[in-house]
């Protein structure tokens, strides 16, 4: 035999030995490893495999309800139907692809995609995998009634958020979305799991931890065949806490209706506490759509369109306050004692400033003739306030503006509130590297120029006028109530600042605002049954149509509500914003008064 090898075989004999040894070593290592795994470590692996027999399923906790000020349910939960599939229960006699085709017809999904999901589920034959969430009720019943046609499929009922009035108060309530990786990281608490829905804006976001409740779960021991042997532990899910808002359902509803599809915002605030009674931002959105995957059209509109429906125009949009700011200018002048309310200026329709004699015009071209402070406020005479502004020492106007809370957050319990800007010499130097000119003062005295405020800030300002100097921290959440009815958190109205100015000053301002309603630019709200004090405003907008402001309070003697109506690109406050306020108040108080014809040329502010 050896001779054959030598004669015929060109394979190198020593190499065959090396070759055999290498393969032998490889197999020897395999044997050793097998021995190590099964004999030496076998017992500990056996233990691990037994622990693997515990299956944990979570049950989602229902979120707390959200109510309005009177306990009307605004946001609750409704049962949603989730289709699950446990491959082990599927029948051998059926074709899975045919069943998936049939299902995809009912679920209106792509059958190939569905089949892929089912095949994915098949990796774990004894686990029930979620195939589709939030399916239609009819389809859910159809499937659950036909066990034979769809073996292994079952319908689970899970709570899903139900925004009962769709886009009602959507910027207050907020919407939900899947928790992001960043949020998981930041929150660092154990109550959130990947894939959870979390409040993304509004009250849903601010109080998410209190609203969401605690998920329950069941630990089940399963047999080798995957059948449930016994329940090791069961924890019931705990419903989240309820939230009671300060929002008045009727007022909010009327305000939203009257605003219609104009862009802008409306804020109604209780001047005795800072409680927000209505907060409208238009365009708005329906939070329900965020509970399902967004269709591309929807997503484009909600997230990228110029309408910016998610943007809260009451707290996040910043504009020049226009003539509403004249309230501050007037208060500053009276408090600093630079003039008496009776002092008059002659308004010729224009005003010259500085050596270049730059011309600043009044909104009324022919002029207001002789104007004192009450008439100045009421007819919103620009020339009167140009004069007043220049009489004040520099820095006085910004000081008073800040005193009333402009340039700072109001502290409302909503995320992302903007501060606005109160410009002064230092600000202008830093930002534009320019000095502060008299022209800047003149502009600022009528609320134009670099001044930026949010509608909520203006509402809070008129509330302080109405109540005689109390600057409250506005709030939306009145109470948080546990599922068993205990009040966990009650919002105490928080006085941010008490404005101490002479009572006479308040009186002049209020009379000026009343004059505006009876004889001035705010005549649109001159109602017989409800005395109102108000101030119109127009924010000049070099890019397009001016923005319309209207701020005021009612009733005049015993204020219950302070309000702001803001219409983006609306035009003049007295022409556009005031009628909106009129209609809301008329309907809210059930006055049913005839609308008065107003000469729009007289109220173009």
Partner 1 sequence: MARVGETSRFDYLLFVAMIASCVIGLSILVSYMWRTVVAGSYLFIWKQMIAFSIGLTGALLLAYVDYRHLKKYAPIIYVVFMTLLFLVLIFGKVARGARSWFSIGPFSFQPSEFMALAYIIFLAWYIELQQKWEGIKQFAVSGLITLLPMGLILLQPDFGTSLVFIAIFLGMVYLGGAQLGYILSLVIAGAIASFISLFLTFAQLKYTVPGSHRLGNAIAATFSSNNNIITFLFVVFLVLVLCYFAIRKFYRNFSFANVVYAFVPILLGVMGATGIQGFLKGYQRQRLIAFLEPTLDPLGVGYNIIQSKIAIGSGKFLGKGILSGTQSQLGFLPEQHTDFIFAVIGEELGFVGAGLVLFLLCLIIWRGIVISTQARDTFGGLLAAGIVCMFAFHAVINIGMVMGIMPVVGVPLPLISYGGSSLIAHMLAIGVLLSVSYRRYMY
Per CB under 8 A, 87 contacts partner 1: yes
Which of 97, 144, 238, 288 binds partner 1 (CB under 8 A)? It is 97
Write down the least CB distance from residue 179 to partner 1, Å. 18
Residues 6+ apart with CB under 8 A from 558: none
Which of 182, 189, 225, 544 binds partner 1 (CB under 8 A)? It is 225
**What's the rounded Cα separation, in Å, for the pair 237 and 391?**
67
Which 8-state DSSP code applies to residue 214? B
Q: Which is nearer to partner 1, 22 or 426 (CB)?
A: 22
Per CB under 8 A, 189 contacts partner 1: no
Which 8-state DSSP code applies to residue 317? -
Write down the least CB distance from residue 210 to partner 1, Å. 32
Q: Which is nearer to partner 1, 29 or 487 (CB)?
A: 29
**Burial of residue 237, with CB atoms counted within 10 A of its CB: 0-12 exposed, 13-18 middle, 19 or more buried:** middle
Per CB under 8 A, 91 contacts partner 1: yes
Q: Which is nearer to partner 1, 193 or 529 (CB)?
A: 193
Q: How many of the other CB atoms lie within 10 Å of CB of 185?
A: 8
Q: Which of residues 437-496 bind partner 1 (CB under 8 A)?
A: none
Which of 6, 10, 182, 433 binds partner 1 (CB under 8 A)? It is 10
Per CB under 8 A, 26 contacts partner 1: yes
User: Can you read off the two tokens belonging to residue 227?
Assistant: 């059948």
Q: Which is nearer to partner 1, 19 or 141 (CB)?
A: 19
Computed from CA positions of residues 399, 401, 403, 409, in that sequence, does the dihedral angle turn out positive or negative?
A: negative
Per CB under 8 A, 226 contacts partner 1: yes
User: Can you read off the two tokens belonging to residue 77?
Assistant: 């939960």
Distances (CA, A) of 501 to 211, 467, 604: 42, 13, 31
Which stretch of DSSP H or E encloses residue 373? helix 373-378
Give residue for tokens 């707290």: 315
**What's the rounded Cα separation, in Å, for the pair 36 and 264?**
73
Q: Which is nearer to partner 1, 183 or 482 (CB)?
A: 183
Of 290, 311, 327, the closest CA to residue 464 belongs to 327
**What's the rounded Cα separation, in Å, for the pair 165 and 250?**
12
Judged by CB under 8 A, which stretch of 1-9, 198-206, 271-279, 594-602 contacts partner 1?
1-9
Q: Which of residues 37-76 bind partner 1 (CB under 8 A)?
A: 37-39, 41-46, 48-50, 52-53
**What's the rounded Cα separation, in Å, for the pair 2 and 7?**
9
Per CB under 8 A, 229 contacts partner 1: no
Write down the least CB distance from residue 209 to partner 1, Å. 27
Phi, psi (deg, nearest 5) at residue 170? -65, -30
Q: Which is nearer to partner 1, 51 or 357 (CB)?
A: 51
Per CB under 8 A, 90 contacts partner 1: yes
Judged by CB under 8 A, which stretch of 95-103, 138-146, 265-273, 336-344 contacts partner 1?
95-103
Cis peptide before 271 (omega within 30 of 0): no
Phi, psi (deg, nearest 5) at residue 526? -75, 95
Q: Which of residues 125-154 bind partner 1 (CB under 8 A)?
A: 125-127, 152
Which of 16, 56, 303, 432 binds partner 1 (CB under 8 A)? It is 16
Write down the least CB distance from residue 327 to partner 1, Å. 52
Of 220, 202, 204, 224, the closest CA to residue 212 belongs to 204
* Residues at the site binding partner 1, with contacts judged by CB under 8 A: 1, 3-5, 8-13, 15-16, 18-20, 23, 26-27, 29-31, 33-35, 37-39, 41-46, 48-50, 52-53, 87-88, 90-92, 95-97, 119, 122-127, 152, 222, 224-226
């Amino acid at each position: 035999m050896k001779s054959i090898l030598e004669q015929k075989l060109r394979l190198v004999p020593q190499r065959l030995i090396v070759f055999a040894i290498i393969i032998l070593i490889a197999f020897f290592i395999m044997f050793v490893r097998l021995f190590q795994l099964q004999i030496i470590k076998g017992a500990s692996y056996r233990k691990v495999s037994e622990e693997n027999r515990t299956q944990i399923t979570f049950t989602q906790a229902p979120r707390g309800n959200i109510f309005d000020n009177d306990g009307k349910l605004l946001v609750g939960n409704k049962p949603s139907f989730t289709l699950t599939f446990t491959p082990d229960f599927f029948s051998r006699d059926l074709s899975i692809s045919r069943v998936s085709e049939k299902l995809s017809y009912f679920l209106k999904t792509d059958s190939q995609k569905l089949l892929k999901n089912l095949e994915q589920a098949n990796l774990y034959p004894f686990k029930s995998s979620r195939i589709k969430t939030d399916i239609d009720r009819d389809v859910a019943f159809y499937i659950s009634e036909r066990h034979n046609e769809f073996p292994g499929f079952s319908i689970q009922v899970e709570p899903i958020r139900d925004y009962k009035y769709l886009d009602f108060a959507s910027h207050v309530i907020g919407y939900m979305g899947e928790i992001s990786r960043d949020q998981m990281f930041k929150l660092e608490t154990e109550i959130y799991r990947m894939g959870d829905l979390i409040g993304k804006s509004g009250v849903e976001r601010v109080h998410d931890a209190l609203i969401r409740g605690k998920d329950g779960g069941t630990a089940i021991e399963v047999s080798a065949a995957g059948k449930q042997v016994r329940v090791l532990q069961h924890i019931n899910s705990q419903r989240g806490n309820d939230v009671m808002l300060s929002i008045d359902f009727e007022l909010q509803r009327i305000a939203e209706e009257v605003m219609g599809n104009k862009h802008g915002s409306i804020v109604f605030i209780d001047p005795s506490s800072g409680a927000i009674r209505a907060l409208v931002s238009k365009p708005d959105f329906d939070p329900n759509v965020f509970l399902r995957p967004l269709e591309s059209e929807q997503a484009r509109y909600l997230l990228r369109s110029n309408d910016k429906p998610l943007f809260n125009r009451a707290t996040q949009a910043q504009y020049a306050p226009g003539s509403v700011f004249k309230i501050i200018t007037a208060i500053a002048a009276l408090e600093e004692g630079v003039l008496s309310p009776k002092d008059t200026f002659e308004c010729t329709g224009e005003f010259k400033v500085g050596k270049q004699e730059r011309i600043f015009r009044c909104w009324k071209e022919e002029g207001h003739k002789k104007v004192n402070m009450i008439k100045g406020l009421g007819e919103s005479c620009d020339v009167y306030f140009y004069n007043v502004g220049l009489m004040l020492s520099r820095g006085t106007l910004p000081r008073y503006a800040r005193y009333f809370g402009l340039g700072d957050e109001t502290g409302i319990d909503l995320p992302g509130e903007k501060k606005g800007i109160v410009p002064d010499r230092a600000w202008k130097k830093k930002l534009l590297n320019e000095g502060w000119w008299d022209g800047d003062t003149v502009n600022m005295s009528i609320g134009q120029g670099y001044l930026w405020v949010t509608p909520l800030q203006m509402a809070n300002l008129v509330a302080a006028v109405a109540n005689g100097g109390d600057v409250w921290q506005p709030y939306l959440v009145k109470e948080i109530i546990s599922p068993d009815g205990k009040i966990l958190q009650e919002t105490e109205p928080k006085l941010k600042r008490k404005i101490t100015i002479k009572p006479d000053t308040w009186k002049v301002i209020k009379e000026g605002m009343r004059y505006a309603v009876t004889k001035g630019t705010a005549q649109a709200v001159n109602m017989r049954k409800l005395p109102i004090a108000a101030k119109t405003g127009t924010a000049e907008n070099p890019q397009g149509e001016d923005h319309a402001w209207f701020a005021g309070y009612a009733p005049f003697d015993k204020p219950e509500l302070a309000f702001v109506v803001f219409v983006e690109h609306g035009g003049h406050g007295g022409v556009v914003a005031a009628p909106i306020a009129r209609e809301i108040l008329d309907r809210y108080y059930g006055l049913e008064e005839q609308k008065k014809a107003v000469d729009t040329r007289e109220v173009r502010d």
